[in-house]
Structure 1
Amino acid sequence: MNEKEALILKLIKEDPFISQSDLAVKAGLSRAEAAGYISSFIKQGKILGRAYILPEKRQVLCVGGANIDRKIWSKNQLELGTSNPAESSKSCGGVARNIGENLGRLGSDVSVLTVVGDDFEGHWLMEYTKAFADVSPSQSLQGHSTGAYTAVLDHEGEMAVALAEMTIYDSITTEFIESKWGYFASSDFIILDTNFSADVLKAIILRCRKENIPLCITPVSSPKAKKLPEDLSGVTWLIANKEEAEAIAGVGIENEGDFFKAAEMIIHKGVEKVVISRGDKGLVYFTSRGEAGVLIPPNIPVIDVTGAGDSLVAGIIYAHLNGIQTEDACKVGMACSILTLQTIETVNPILNNKQLLDTYKQNFK
């Protein structure tokens, strides 16, 4: 940044409502030159547009889905083709939102960038989430319904089928992301799910790489994982389950060796660190520096698996941001996931630093 640019940003910080004419006079520029600087700053994400709002610095920005989670679980052995006695619940969900809430409960300075409908569910989601994360980057869209995710669980808490109503994310364009880039540029770390289109995902990955912004990608599902570009250079972490890893790597996974083969293929796409979860069999990790390992989880009672993957991501990134190395970061992620598995809630309401540390010590020390 040259002296003139620094002066203009200083003047804007002192008076966010300064006119371009006054800005030009104080900076010794023509009005056209001042307008050019303003346009450039907006494109770079250094200011957020009219009123020249400077984005507040945040530790983590979670980008992607925020949905209504509906869970229906069978009281008995699930039988297809007939009626099953069941119970149900409704809660706030969405991968990016869930990760943001987990991180917020752990004390991280986090914000969430998503879109919701201008409806009761959308307002409820934002009001609830703002207790844990800054939701000012998010936007309410008229004429759209808030995303909804319905999971049908068997009597043991395992998912039998899930239904996703996510058409609202089709409205997100690269221009929308550009208009919000100030929030990206002012964050230390980005977590991106794959709810948005392939073009939008590619644009975010490319720009984070160009601007050296650390990025974690967490696919939402196997079909949505296929929207990721072939070139994943600059991605710091990619955390996926078996099916998502198969889709990204383009290979089937049948045994433990296949997990590492898939992880290595993803590393060759440019990712620095890959984690592939294996459900109740734990996870494998593989890095571009040759680190590799398998972590086996403790035998614990499972109440509900929904949200466990999101809490795994949150725990890993929380540990990463606190300087913890790969293997131990994965253990912290698993500890966070254990807490989620032991509640019917998508994010465990008792989650905090102390609970996470206690769970980590009980299971991995």
Structure 2
Amino acid sequence: MLTDREQQILNWIRINPSITQKEIAERAHISRSSVAVHISNLTKKGAILGRRYVLADKPYIAVVGGTNMDLAGHPAYAPRAHDTMPGTVTVSAGGTARNIAHNLALLGCNVKLITVFGDDIRATELVNDCRKLNIDIDNSITIPGGITSMHLFIMDEQGDMTLAISDMKILDQLTPEALESRLGVINHAQVCVVDTNISIECLAYLADHVRVPLYCDTVSTSKALKVKGLIGKLDTIKPNQLEVETLTGVHITDDRSMKLAAKKLLDQGVKRVVISLGARGAYAADRNNVVRIPSFASNIVSTTGAGDTMMAAITWAQTRGESLANTCAAGVAAAAICTESYSTVNPALSADNVLSRMAAAGYDSQQ
């Protein structure tokens, strides 16, 4: 709720977005320091975004979590332990939250990414990449002297990851206190997507204070455990099969056990479960429906990033008001597109391409 003075200042900014604090002070007959306090409050409440008085009129999606630089090795043939082999090494922007934000931008969504950057050449590249994609990073954190996260992984000859090492210690700098100062921005979003790269304390803070639908990508089996006590506060959760087994204790061998695992999550209060099944597609359930979508045909060169792309497409479909079946189909279609590129995010992804793949598989958008 805005105060009368805050609403007055917001109206002046709406009429003239380039108005200065000095001009506002003169018009309101108050000091510049008082104006600064009102501007800070307007930012915290999400009425304006960042330092350039960007008005929060356009719908947007808030994404909170990890950003890193991906270093990927693609061997020319089946990798052998303790051996060097020819292949291709690629460097690209990555991180679950950043990848989700990137994919959402390609799908035509306005995105505000809240993450942590270091103070090095990798951070400069990541920041520039976000700006080229029109991803708003005004509410992200830069740590002076900090080292930007790095994710190193090796693929096999089929394009599946065999081993990875993540150095994401800088994300410890994202604290509940930092999120509190950005809560207004988050709560003015259509939805908030979070990954489990951030701390348990941050996840708990968001679960308790976010008032818009909260979507969660569980990232990995070890990191999925961070949300085990928070599932009832989520709107949508997207684990893969191993992650959902970790969260529920159900060993999945068939559709019956898959349904039981999904039900265990739904019984805790989450509204929607989408389980990524890799080459077998995806399984989705809510309180009224269950759907299993097989994978779509694709020319696979790398599966890295497909889960992040699926999460983005699920979020995009839900903000469009799609059914559970179409939401799941959108995720499977987008993941198929992702696998056709060596990049973690396929630049060919678009809303039209996703809808085209869905239609080819018999899933017509309702929008």
Q: TM above 0.5, one fold?
A: yes
C-alpha RMSD of the superposition: 2.9
Asked whether the equivalents of residues 17 and 52 of structure 1 are also in contact (C-alpha less than 8 Å), the reply is no
CA contact (8 A) 1:64 1:97 kept: yes
Q: What letter matches 2:220 in structure 1?
A: S
Describe the shift of the 1:110–1:39 C-alpha distance in structure 2 as closer, same or farther (beyond 3 A): closer
Q: Does 1:85 align with 2:80?
A: no
Contact 1:274–1:285 (8 Å) recurs in 2 = yes
> What is the CA distance between 1:56 and its match in structure 2?
6.2
Residue in 2 that maps onto 1:264 = 263
The match for 2:201 is 199
1:197-233 deviation digits (Å, cap 9, x = unpaired): 001011011111xx3x111111121111111151333
User: What is the CA-CA distance between 1:278 and the residue it aligns to?
Assistant: 1.0
Question: Paired residue for 1:335?
Answer: 333
Aligned partner of 1:347 in structure 2 is 345
Distance of 1:354 and 1:77 partners within structure 2: 36
One-letter code aligned to 1:93: G
- When structure 1 is superposed on structure 2, of 39-48 and 55-64 the one drifting more is 39-48
Residues 275-294 of structure 1 mapped to structure 2, 5 A cutoff: 275-287=274-286, 289-294=287-292
Paired residues in the alignment total 356
The 3-state SS of whatever aligns with 2:347 is coil
Identity, in percent, stands at 29
Structure 2 match to 1:66: 67
2:235 matches 1:239: no
CA–CA distance in structure 2, aligned partners of residues 78 and 228 of structure 1: 35
Q: Which amino acid is the alignment partner of residue 316 of structure 2?
A: Y
Alpha-carbon shift at residue 264 of structure 1 (Å):
1.2
How does the TM-score come out when normalised to structure 1? 0.87
The answer on whether the counterparts of 2:224 and 2:243 sit within 8 Å (CA) in structure 1 is yes
For residue 251 of structure 1, report the CA deviation from its aligned partner: 3.4
Opposite residue 160 of structure 1, the aligned amino acid is: T
CA contact under 8 A between 2:297 and 2:336: conserved in structure 1?
no
Provide TM-score, normalisation by structure 2.
0.87
The CA deviation string for residues 117-161 of structure 1, in whole angstroms up to 9 with x for no partner, is 111101101111222212222222112211111121101111111
- In the alignment, is the contact (CA less than 8 A) between 1:17 and 1:51 conserved in 2? no
2:21 maps to which residue? 17
1:36 Cα deviation (Å)? 9.6
**Helix, strand or coil at the partner of 2:232:** coil
- 1:154-173 alignment runs, 5 A limit: 154-173=156-175
State the shift of 1:341 in Å.
0.7
Taking the aligned partners of 1:179 and 1:52, their CA distance within structure 2 comes to 16
Work out the CA distance in 2 between the residues paired with 1:23 and 1:228.
49
8 Å Cα contact 1:16/1:53 also seen in 2: no
Distance 1:53 1:105 in 2: 21
User: Is the 8 Å Cα contact of residues 46 and 185 (structure 1) preserved in structure 2?
Assistant: no
Distance in structure 2 (CA, Å) of the matches to 1:102 and 1:119? 25
Shifted more, 189-198 versus 344-353: the winner is 344-353
Structure 1 partner of 2:306? 308
Give ranges in structure 2 of 5+ residues lacking alignment: 13-18
Judge conservation of contact 2:70–2:94 (CA < 8 Å) in 1. yes
Structure 1 gap segments, 5+ residues each: 27-32
The letter of the residue matching 1:329 is: T
The one-letter amino acid paired with 1:148 is: M
Q: Distance in 2 between matches of 1:51 and 1:341?
A: 38
Q: What does residue 131 of structure 2 align with?
A: 130
Q: 1:356, CA displacement in angstroms? A: 2.0
In structure 1, distance between residues paired with 2:38 and 2:78: 65
Q: Distance in 1 between matches of 2:307 and 2:270?
A: 19
> Counterpart of 2:226 in 1: which secondary structure?
coil
| Alpha-carbon separation, structure 1, partners of 2:157 and 2:107 | 31
2:360 match = 362
User: d(CA) in 2 for partners of 1:355 and 1:34?
Assistant: 47
